[in-house]
Chains A and B, each alone.
Chain A
């Protein structure tokens, strides 16, 4: 990764502003990370992951100040990806003079960013404590983990602020600088507990919803069976005595029942994605896909579809759910085809700590204005006569991908023939992905994270 040029930083800020966020600074503390401002915002998560190499709790560079649920997913009850507010970032040169400060410096210390350019860094801290800064900003070694210290600072108005200071060497505009992240320790503690509580709440509410969905769907089956079976019996036994209209009415009733049964079946399966889970195991994706293609044999033959599969890796996952994931995507690629027999390509490539999979077709495409809707449960873009289905396939895809620690997104121009490409990531190694997000040795952070974790576990135990 090369550091961004100045114009790229400017473009980045403009892009972030357009997203409705505050100033976004993507900062991988060793070199600055490069993020293509034209990419969809899904890429932001990838860089957030890189920035988490600092400490989970003291993260300091996740800076989208809007409620993006993708920043707040719970992979497992105790692994809540915390959404933290704008972190205070300074760039300090080797003379210990501040060369850049972001907007967050204002609520933290009361300075406007411009006031700090040219300001001696040490002056932000209590006189007696300044000796601690020495070892923090000395002898840069690129690639080393960040240095952390707690140093009491003070605001512009003199009020004391207990600060955590995280320092790492970086390069900016061709010059060697220190990236300094500041956080108010008192605020952080409050924040962590508040977010942990929220995480626990969300996890609990998710579980309740899943249970409710399961129960509701299950109980709906029986009366549905009554409607379906008896309208059919009616038709069988009295059909010849009924006129055309009456038979048509009965047909509509039965079609309704059949459709409802499909919806209920899908709802039930969807509701169980989170609850009924096998433990994750090492899975050969190639084997999963072979099984899926066998399941889809008839549709493939009927559509005269050509499905090519590139080399596939091994991942940690639930083989049944991964099969569902691939099956839904490949089945869709075949279903939403144009007049010609469809071509479907399934590929995988390594991107950092993830495998990025793609299922690409040359079918009817998805217009950009609908692309945010398609992952919502039961959302469909076509009538049932045009293309069959309940509209749950992509909701399942998203849920499975997220359960496995990945993200899914769609690329399509919307022009027929250009087709659609669904991409999703799965971590190369789940254990490694979790470790990457774990904090650098910081006992206070570990303690807080421990408290947050047990809070969440307690709430969940109430449910079981």
Chain B
């Protein structure tokens, strides 16, 4: 799928699974400033995340995301489980997943990569840093690299 340049009016679809409204809002603020046309959909936990990805129930018409921001610690079903499910689902496993979390713990990082997260990013306390991180991620995935075909 070609990246959305000015010639391509379709916004990039991004799914964010994040239970913390304040954190979700931060990402939203950053993506809103992005030069890359995008639509950010936020779900508050792992159960909703899987429902969205499988287009179940109220998510029947959901767009397939080109990128997933995944928080590790969520209620009902946490990010680790979601990651495992996505990467073992032949239909979903190609979608790049960026694990975002406050944990710097090496074991969390290692496990995320073991579970085939595409990358792992630590949420910084500094908005400027956060802004740079999210911007860099979106530029990387939507401009610099070739995304997998759907």
Contact = CB atoms under 8 A, between A and B. Distances in A.
Interface string B114-150: 0000000001111110100000000000000000000
B44 to A, nearest CB: 16
A225 B29 contact: no
Nearest to B23: A225
Contact of A232 (B22, B102, B104, B126): B126
Interface string B8-31: 000000000000101100100100
Given A230-B22, A233-B26, A233-B29, A225 B123 contact: yes
Given A218-B103, A222-B102, A225-B123, A232 B128 contact: yes
Contacts of A146: none
Nearest to A268: B104
Interface string A208-229: 0000000000100110111111
Contact of B127 (A221, A232, A261, A268): A232
B103 A229 contact: no
A232 B22 CA distance: 14
A224 B26 CA distance: 14
B125 A258 contact: yes
Contacts of B130: 229
A127 interface: no
Contact of A230 (B20, B102, B127): B127
A267 interface: no
A225 B20 CA distance: 11
B135 to A, nearest CB: 13
Contacts of B127: 228-230, 232-233, 236
A227 B22 CA distance: 10
Contacts of B104: 265, 268
B125 A257 contact: yes
Given A230-B22, A233-B29, A225 B103 contact: no
A225 B130 CA distance: 10
A222 B103 CA distance: 10
Interface string A249-267: 0000000011001000100
A236 B29 CA distance: 12
Interface in B79-129: 102-104, 123-128
A261 B22 contact: no
B126 A258 contact: yes
User: Which of A228, A265, A268 counts the most chain B CB atoms within 10 A?
Assistant: A228
A392 to B, nearest CB: 16
Contacts of A218: 102-103
B91 to A, nearest CB: 33
A228 B22 contact: no
Interface in B19-52: 20, 22-23, 26, 29
Contacts of A224: 125
Contacts of A227: 125
B128 A222 contact: no
Contacts of B128: 232
A230 to B, nearest CB: 7
Given A258-B125, A261-B125, A221 B102 contact: yes
6 contacts: A222-B20, A225-B123, A227-B125, A228-B125, A233-B29, A261-B126
Interface of A: 218, 221-222, 224-230, 232-233, 236, 257-258, 261, 265, 268
